[in-house]
Amino acid sequence: MTEKDRREFHDEFSEAEFFGFAKSYLSEAFPNPQRVGCPPDCDLQRMAAHPVEARDAVSQHLTCCSPCFNRYMEILSDLKRRG
């Protein structure tokens, strides 16, 4: 992405708007009712607690499975609340 493209993007969308859209999209776009390829909850918890060390196939899975993405967001929220 060129500097001009970045400026145009920032003019059109704020970072908060972009992340809000991404969160909304990922939470609904990939229902996965059969829960194909879903990692165990402990893997989602590990990734939420230690995102750099735990980044692997789980993070890729979150981009194509809304139930896992939503569970991951719940775990992050719980961690943030406990602070």
pLDDT digits (tens, 9 = 90+) for 11-70: 667 888 888 999 999 999 999 999 999 999 999 999 999 887 767 788 999 999 999 999
pTM for the whole structure: 0.79
What pLDDT, on the 0 to 100 scale, is given for residue 16?
A: 87
Total domains present in the chain:
1
What pLDDT, on the 0 to 100 scale, is given for residue 38?
A: 97
* Residue 67: C-alpha distances to residues 2, 11, 23, 40, 83 (Å): 35, 32, 12, 12, 24
Domain of residue 56, residue span: 3-82
| Burial tier of 62 (Cβ tally within 10 Å: 0-12, 13-18, 19+) | buried
